[in-house]
Amino acid sequence: MTKPPAPHVLQAVACGGTRDAIEEVALFHARGLVEMGARVTTLAKLPAPRMEAHRDSGATVVHVGMLDTTLSAANPWLVLRLAWRMRREAVRGVLIHTGKAYPLLRLAAPRGVPLISVCHGPNFGLRLGADIILCLNAEQEARVRAALGPRAAGKRILVLPNPSVLPDMDPLPAPASRLMGATARGEVVVGFLGQLRAVKGLDLLVEAAASLVAEGVKLRLRIGGTGEARAAMEAEAARRGIMDRVEFLGWVEDRAAFFAGVDIFACPSRDEPFGLVAAQAMLLGVPVVASDAAGFRAQITPNETGLLVPRGDAGALAAAIRAVMEAPEAARDMAAAAQRQASAQGDRRRVAEHILAEIEEWRAARAQ
> What are the pLDDT digits (tens) for 142-161?
999 999 999 999 999 999 98
Per CATH, the number for 178-345 is 3.40.50.2000
**pLDDT exceeding 70 applies to what percent of the chain?**
92
| Confidence check: pLDDT of 231 > 90 | yes
| Confidence check: pLDDT of 20 > 80 | no
| Confidence check: pLDDT of 101 > 60 | yes
pLDDT band for position 68 (cuts 50, 70, 90): confident
With contact defined as beta carbons under 8 Å apart, do 141 and 120 qualify? no
CA 34 – CA 130 distance, rounded (Å): 23
| Same fold yes or no, 8-163+347-367 and 178-345 | yes
pLDDT band for position 178 (cuts 50, 70, 90): low
Per CATH, the number for 8-163+347-367 is 3.40.50.2000
| Confidence check: pLDDT of 274 > 60 | yes
> What are the pLDDT digits (tens) for 184-195?
567 899 999 998
| Confidence check: pLDDT of 1 > 50 | no
| Confidence check: pLDDT of 334 > 90 | yes
The domain ranges of the chain are 8-163+347-367, 178-345
Average pLDDT estimate for 261-277: 92
Q: Decide which of 219 and 273 is more confident.
A: 219
Helix (H, G, I), strand (E, B) or coil at 157: strand
Q: What is the mean pLDDT of the chain?
A: 89
**Max Cα separation, the chain?**
73
Q: Cα 200 from chain centroid?
A: 13
**pLDDT exceeding 90 applies to what percent of the chain?**
64
Q: Decide which of 343 and 232 is more confident.
A: 232
Q: Taking CA 184 as the corner, what is the angle to CA 178 and CA 189, rounded to the nearest 5 degrees? A: 50
